[in-house]
Amino acid sequence: MAASWFLAERVHERILAIAEPHHAEWVVSYLVTGPEAAVLIDTGTGYGDIGAAVAASTGLPVTVVLTHTHWDHIGGTAAFDRVVLFDDPVERARLADGFTSSAIGGLCDPGRFGPPFTPRDFTVPGRADAELVHDGDNLAIGGLRLRVIHTPGHSPGSMSLLMPDLGAVAVGDLVYDGPLYAHLPGADPVAYAASVDRLLGVLAGIDLVLPGHNATHAGPGLVREAARVLHHWQATGQDDIVLGAGRMRLLTHRTGG
Ligand SMILES: [Zn+2]
């Protein structure tokens, strides 16, 4: 099952996007390969065996770096020895607790899975051994350099990972082509807007944006599109409005309940 649950696409000579196109939310993880080690940014839903998918691509030691701890980004974390997380109490607790199948709940409804896949009662095991990082930290892993940018809003401890040597930034669930979730518990649309603005400020030299859902890669225009949506909300208070040609819109506490 693992091989066909995932869709792997090379988006850079050092970056393999590992998408889950048979789940309605089309989550994407990214395997970044350096000279001596690899980094896996997020681990997906856990429905497929992402450990096997990664092992098929690299024999190097793998460090998992999590953009945030919603279940669909940490599902396969148990397959890896080393995990890095932003130092935030909500994110720490959520990773430590993991998710029961009832907590995953409606996100596993059969209608969210494309045939021939049928959801089983799967859980996300917790783990409390994450190495914690902070805003501005520069991670050096096996010859790869990643800079931590705290980008809260979707969740309080969300982080983006800037890879200046590769001209890439992984943005987790802050920016993607679809409804932007600023309405979940712990989300904050004011912080969200500030984080998108902050991301706009680090785009010099970046030509590859790696979103957590709906596409394996994008250009910097995706961040600018998000900024338009957030700025529109800041100026008018109107959310859930699509600006331009994409599917991007902002869901806040007002629209999302
Ligand atoms: Zn999320």
Q: Mean pLDDT of successive 10-residue segments in the chain (257 residues)?
A: 80 98 94 98 95 97 98 96 98 96 78 81 92 98 97 98 98 96 94 98 97 97 96 95 89 81
Residue 167 Cα to ligand 1 midpoint, Å, equals: 24
- Quote the pLDDT of residue 2: 43
Residue 194 Cα to ligand 1 midpoint, Å, equals: 17
Residue 71 Cα to ligand 1 midpoint, Å, equals: 8
- Rounded to the nearest 10°, the torsion over CA 39, 44, 50, 53 is -70
Residue 185 has φ and ψ, to the nearest 5°, of -55, 130
Residue 235 Cα to ligand 1 midpoint, Å, equals: 25
Residue 70 Cα to ligand 1 midpoint, Å, equals: 5
17 touches 6 (CB < 8 A): no
The burial class, CB within 10 Å (0-12 / 13-18 / 19+), for 246 is: middle
Residue 182 Cα to ligand 1 midpoint, Å, equals: 10
**Looking at the DSSP assignment, which residues form a beta bridge with residue 140?**
145
- Quote the pLDDT of residue 246: 85
Range of the domain at 230: 2-256
Residue 41 Cα to ligand 1 midpoint, Å, equals: 13
Please provide the distance, in angstroms rounded to a whole number, between the alpha carbons at the two ends of the chain.
36
Residue 32 Cα to ligand 1 midpoint, Å, equals: 20
CA distance 182 to 165: 31
| Residues with a beta carbon under 5 angstroms from ion ligand 1 | 70, 173
Residue 125 Cα to ligand 1 midpoint, Å, equals: 17
Residue 255 Cα to ligand 1 midpoint, Å, equals: 17
Per residue in 216-233, is it b (16+ CB within 10 Å) or e — as a string? bbbebebbebbbebbebb
Looking at the 3D structure of the chain, how many domains does it have? 1
Specify the DSSP class assigned to residue 136: T
Count Cβ atoms below 10 Å from residue 47 Cβ, excluding itself. Answer: 23
- Quote the pLDDT of residue 121: 77
- Quote the pLDDT of residue 101: 84
Residue 173 Cα to ligand 1 midpoint, Å, equals: 5
CA distance 28 to 211: 7
Residue 33 Cα to ligand 1 midpoint, Å, equals: 24
Residue 31 Cα to ligand 1 midpoint, Å, equals: 18
Whichever domain contains 215, its CATH number is 3.60.15.10
- Quote the pLDDT of residue 1: 47
CA distance 24 to 230: 24
Helices of type H across 45-204: 50-55, 71-74, 89-97, 101-104, 189-200
- Quote the pLDDT of residue 158: 98
91 touches 85 (CB < 8 A): yes
Structural tokens at position 72 = 């669909």
